[in-house]
RNA sequence: GCCCUUGUAGCUCAGUCGGUAGAGCACAUCCAUGGUAAGGAUGAGGUCAACGGUUCGAUUCCGUUCGAGGGCUCCA
């Protein structure tokens, strides 16, 4: 009989626990749940297990599976449980938190575990070739830094060998696309631990991508009714006390610097600055909505162990904006932001997008009247419905200052990345006493919404590198065309062609070194240059070029002008195809 | 911060069971002038992460420090 994958994974974790206990007598077992791509089990081991030991554990697991053992469920009393797990301190702690009468244990072979279940019937339901031990990691007991560090063994597990292999292949592909690796290979960016980890250096090619992306971003924002701001990188302690950041976000901020005996903080967010601009003038309801965007560079403390290429950094540029509007406008504004965001993702080539609505957190830490939360959430939900976007609720997942929508986009190899975020803020308008004058002459509090569409430029770059494997669409490619003469005799003609392309506004790499043509093609391919134009005697005599595409396709020899028109059209329409 | 792994040329890595290191790519010079993924030769380049200890002698063994990679949420 077949069982849900989660059950199979969980049962496998018991098998692994049995194997580990057998191989390392004296092992204390903690917990072993199923996870997204397999399972893990946490142990306190009498010895240090090393990666070389994993095959032996796998082998023992297969032996257990082959023995065709039954998983037997028993209900026992709390007293029985305490006696049974007398030598297992972690289990005892878990038992303490359980109701008498609701305690179950599962046994297979020589191993009995405190477990709610369910499990497969016998180890025969587990396939010996559908799992693979993955890694050894440290994990705190119950995720608490103050509790003992346990050894966690991770494993992949799937329904079939094919699915396992497909997953392993995806991981292999992910490794090839790793933004740190491609960033180096394609000369896009670097980090320098000696100059400060988690800080990104954009090289000329990465810079070119960024400029093209940002230019487009600015154009789109102006077209969509935004104004753009530039604000300082530092602000006095007053600002951050007022905003509440020193109260709620201090651990994410860097230590202050002193200027004229005043403390200044580097900004972790742009919002207080935008509010300063808002509060610089009085506002009428007639002025609203205001949509103010900024590519604002912020610095946030991230723990050293959390830093990761472009994905997790300490300094980054948010594609931030704040929408300040009346309560009546909020629904349309939210719908509009969502539509705008989706239109951007479409152009960038992401089709699979899912929304996550986060509601008011439990407890009394949240600010803002419940009615405001309800209206806000309603406008978020309506917007998602209007776009026909699939969504999930994240109950209690909102920030203390307001509900939000996060969008997750799926990349070319099926991984989801959280990018766009649209968040209500009931906190700062209050703290900064933001107001506008309503039609009846009374002062009102506006709604404020923070939103970032790409998230941050750095992280987006990382995701996009991995999504495209570095083969950017023509309009974003740092180098769009490589001109490759067949031999040095044709260098002059190559230069003429290159100049012509440059004048037409294309980004050209002239490959005029002494290398052979084959080597140049190889290099241009490796650099993912979209078009390679090979020129020799024939092309020179006919004023043509012979285009090769980075996907290996070959176009007909054509007049230089024809090629320029072809490429320019694709740039103009931001085509994902060459 | 903590656990496991790890740190040798710009990059990717090999090696030394303790006698101060090697390959490929990249780079430089020279030869070769070429039709769609690497032409050839020569050369330059390293205080083997840093500091301490053991030793006649340490890049190699031991210790400490710093950095990097994976993990520390998914609740019997």
CATH number, domain at A12?
3.30.980.10
Question: Contacts by A246-254 with C-beta closer than 8 Å and gap 24+?
Answer: A248/A400, A251/A301, A252/A300, A252/A301, A253/A300, A253/A301, A254/A299, A254/A301
Question: Contacts by A362-365 with C-beta closer than 8 Å and gap 24+?
Answer: A362/A396, A365/A400
> Is A558 part of any domain?
yes
CATH at A562? 3.40.50.800
For residue A300, the Cα-to-chain-centroid distance in whole angstroms is 17
Computed on alpha carbons and rounded to an integer, the radius of gyration of chain A in Å comes to 29
**Contact present, A405 and A386 (Cβ < 8 Å):** no
Between β-strands A508-510 and A481-485, what pairing exists: parallel, antiparallel or unpaired? parallel
Lookup: tokens for A64: 């257990």
The Cα–Cα gap between A466 and A464 comes to 5
Do A198 and A104 sit in the same domain of this protein? no
Of A512, A514, A509, nearest in space to A532 by CA: A509
Of A42, A35, A36, nearest in space to A16 by CA: A42
> Is A508 part of any domain?
yes
- Interatomic distance A541 CA / B39 C1' (Å): 27
Whether A318 is catalytic: yes
- Interatomic distance A51 CA / B59 C1' (Å): 26
Do A120 and A187 sit in the same domain of this protein? no
- Interatomic distance A570 CA / B10 C1' (Å): 36
Range of the domain at A58: 5-174
| Mean pLDDT along residues A123-134 | 86
A54 Rama sector, left if φ>0, alpha if ψ -120 to 50, beta otherwise: alpha
| Mean pLDDT along residues A25-34 | 88
**DSSP summary character for residue A342:** H
Q: Which residue carries 């397999």 as its tokens?
A: A38
Lookup: tokens for A545: 């070029």
- Structural domains of chain A, count: 3
β-pair partners for A484: A534
Where does the pLDDT of residue A424 fall: very low under 50, low under 70, confident under 90, or very high at 90 and above? very high
Where does the pLDDT of residue A414 fall: very low under 50, low under 70, confident under 90, or very high at 90 and above? confident
> Is A93 part of any domain?
yes
Do A115 and A209 sit in the same domain of this protein? no
Q: Residue A423: what pLDDT? A: 93
Q: Residue A517: what pLDDT? A: 93
The Cα–Cα gap between A508 and A563 comes to 13
Whether A404 is catalytic: yes
Percent of chain A, pLDDT > 70?
A: 100
CB of A76 within 7 Å of some strand B atom:
no
Instruction: Find which nucleotide's C1' atom is closest to A535's CA.
Output: B35
**What are the DSSP calls for A120-186, one per residue?**
-SBGGGS-TTSEEEEEEEEEEGGG-TTSPEEEEEEEEE-SSHHHHHHHHHHHHHHHHH-HHHHHHHT
Residue that finishes a domain, picked among A436, A468, A500: A468
Q: Residue A496: what pLDDT? A: 95
Instruction: Find which nucleotide's C1' atom is closest to A523's CA.
Output: B37
Output the CA–CA distances (angstroms, integers) from residue A575 to A188, A189, A215, A289, A572, in the order listed: 22, 25, 17, 33, 8
More confident residue, A32 or A100: A32
> Is A38 part of any domain?
yes
**Contact present, A35 and A53 (Cβ < 8 Å):** no
> Is A187 part of any domain?
yes
Q: Tell me the per-residue pLDDT of A134-168, one tens digit each, with 9 for 90 and over.
A: 888 888 888 777 788 888 889 999 988 888 888 88
Do A456 and A504 sit in the same domain of this protein? no
Do A531 and A458 sit in the same domain of this protein? no
> Is A262 part of any domain?
no
CATH at A275? 3.30.930.10
Whether A450 is catalytic: yes
Q: Residue A1: what pLDDT? A: 53
Instruction: Find which nucleotide's C1' atom is closest to A115's CA.
Output: B76
> Is A485 part of any domain?
yes
Q: Residue A539: what pLDDT? A: 95
Of A120-129, A148-157, A320-329, give the range with the top mean pLDDT: A320-329
| Mean pLDDT along residues A435-439 | 96
- Cα(first)–Cα(last) distance of chain A, in Å? 50
| Mean pLDDT along residues A551-559 | 93
Q: Tell me the per-residue pLDDT of A485-538, one tens digit each, with 9 for 90 and over.
A: 999 899 999 999 999 999 999 999 999 988 899 999 999 999 999 999 999 999
CB of A443 within 7 Å of some strand B atom:
no
Residue that finishes a domain, picked among A174, A198, A219: A174
Residue that finishes a domain, picked among A410, A441, A468: A468
| Mean pLDDT along residues A356-374 | 84
Do A464 and A550 sit in the same domain of this protein? no
Do A121 and A222 sit in the same domain of this protein? no
Q: Residue A419: what pLDDT? A: 92
Do A396 and A343 sit in the same domain of this protein? yes
Q: Residue A472: what pLDDT? A: 96
CB of A539 within 7 Å of some strand B atom:
yes
CB of A118 within 7 Å of some strand B atom:
no
The pTM score is 0.90
Q: Which residue carries 């391919």 as its tokens?
A: A525
Q: Which residue in the list A88, A108, A318, A558 is annotated as catalytic? A: A318
Q: Tell me the per-residue pLDDT of A74-92, one tens digit each, with 9 for 90 and over.
A: 888 888 888 888 888 888 8
Do A490 and A401 sit in the same domain of this protein? no
**Contact present, A422 and A405 (Cβ < 8 Å):** yes
| Mean pLDDT along residues A238-267 | 90
Strand B neighbours among A 207-236, CB < 7 A: none
Between β-strands A353-358 and A404-410, what pairing exists: parallel, antiparallel or unpaired? antiparallel
A572, burial (CB in 10 Å: exposed 0-12, middle 13-18, buried 19+): exposed
Whether A520 is catalytic: no
Whether A300 is catalytic: yes
- Interatomic distance A515 CA / B26 C1' (Å): 14
Q: Residue A74: what pLDDT? A: 87
**Contact present, A282 and A416 (Cβ < 8 Å):** no
Q: Kind and range of the H or E element at A294? A: strand A290-299
- Interatomic distance A77 CA / B58 C1' (Å): 62
Whether A192 is catalytic: no
Do A317 and A461 sit in the same domain of this protein? yes
Q: Residue A174: what pLDDT? A: 85
Whether A320 is catalytic: yes
- Interatomic distance A309 CA / B1 C1' (Å): 21
Do A142 and A190 sit in the same domain of this protein? no
CB of A1 within 7 Å of some strand B atom:
no
CB of A548 within 7 Å of some strand B atom:
yes
Q: Residue A185: what pLDDT? A: 87
- Interatomic distance A51 CA / B16 C1' (Å): 25
Q: Residue A280: what pLDDT? A: 95
Do A411 and A493 sit in the same domain of this protein? no
> Is A147 part of any domain?
yes
- Interatomic distance A193 CA / B7 C1' (Å): 13
* Chain B footprint bases within 7 A of protein beta carbons: 1-5, 11-12, 26, 30-39, 67-76
Q: Which residue in the list A300, A360, A459, A570 is annotated as catalytic? A: A300
């Amino acid at each position: 009989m077949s069982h849900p994958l989660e059950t199979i994974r969980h049962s496998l974790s018991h098998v692994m626990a049995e194997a580990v206990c057998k191989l390392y007598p004296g092992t204390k077992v903690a917990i072993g749940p199923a996870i997204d791509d397999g399972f893990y089990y946490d142990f306190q081991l009498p010895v240090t297990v090393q990666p070389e030991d994993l095959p032996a554990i796998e082998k023992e697991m297969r032996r257990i599976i082959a023995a065709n053992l039954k998983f037997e469920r028993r209900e026992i009393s709390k007293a029985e449980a305490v006696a049974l797990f007398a030598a297992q301190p972690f289990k005892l702690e878990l038992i303490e938190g359980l109701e008498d009468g609701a305690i179950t244990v599962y046994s297979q072979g020589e191993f009995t575990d405190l477990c709610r279940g369910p499990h497969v019937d016998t180890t025969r339901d587990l396939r010996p070739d559908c799992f693979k031990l993955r890694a050894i990691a440290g994990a705190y007991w119950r995720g608490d830094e103050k509790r003992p560090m346990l050894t966690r063994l991770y494993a992949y597990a799937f329904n079939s060998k094919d699915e396992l292999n497909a997953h392993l292949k995806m991981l292999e592909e992910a490794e090839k696309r790793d933004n740190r690796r491609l960033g180096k290979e394609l000369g896009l960016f670097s980090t320098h631990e000696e100059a400060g980890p988690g800080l990104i250096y954009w090289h000329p090619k990465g810079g070119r991508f960024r400029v093209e992306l940002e230019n487009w971003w600015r154009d789109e924002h102006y077209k969509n009714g935004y104004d753009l701001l530039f604000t300082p990188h530092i602000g006095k302690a007053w600002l951050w006390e007022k905003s509440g950041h020193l109260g709620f976000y201090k651990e994410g901020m860097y230590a202050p610097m002193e200027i004229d005996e005043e403390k200044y903080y580097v900004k972790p967010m742009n919002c207080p600055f935008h509010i300063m601009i808002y509060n610089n003038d009085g506002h009428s309801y007639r002025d609203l909505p205001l949509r103010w965007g900024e590519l604002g560079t912020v610095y946030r403390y991230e723990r050293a162990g959390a830093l990761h290429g472009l994905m997790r950094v300490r300094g980054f540029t948010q594609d931030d904006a704040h929408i300040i509007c009346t309560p009546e406008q909020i629904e349309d504004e939210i719908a509009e932001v969502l539509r705008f965001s989706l239109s951007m993702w479409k152009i960038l080539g992401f089709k699979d997008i899912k929304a996550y609505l986060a509601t008011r957190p439990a407890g009394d830490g949240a600010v803002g009247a419940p009615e405001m939360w309800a209206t806000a959430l309603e406008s978020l939900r309506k917007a998602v419905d209007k776009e026909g976007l699939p969504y999930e609720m994240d109950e209690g997942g909102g920030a203390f200052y307001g509900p939000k929508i996060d969008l997750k986009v799926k990349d070319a190899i099926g991984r989801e990345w959280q990018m766009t975020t649209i968040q209500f803020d009931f906190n700062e308008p209050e703290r900064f006493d933001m107001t506008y004058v309503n039609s009846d002459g009374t002062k009102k509090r506006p709604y404020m919404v923070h939103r970032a569409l790409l998230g941050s430029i750095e992280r987006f770059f990382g995701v996009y590198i991995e999504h495209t494997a570095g083969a950017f669409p023509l309009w974003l490619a740092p180098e769009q065309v490589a001109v490759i003469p067949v031999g040095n005799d044709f260098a002059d003609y190559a230069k003429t062609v290159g100049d012509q392309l440059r004048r037409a506004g294309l980004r050209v790499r002239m490959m005029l070194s002494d290398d052979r043509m084959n080597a140049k093609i190889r290099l241009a391919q490796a650099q993912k240059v979209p078009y390679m134009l090979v020129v020799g005697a024939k092309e020179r005599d006919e004023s043509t070029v012979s285009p090769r595409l980075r996907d290996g396709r070959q176009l007909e020899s054509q007049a230089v002008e024809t090629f320029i028109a072809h490429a320019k059209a694709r740039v103009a329409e931001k085509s994902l195809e060459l």
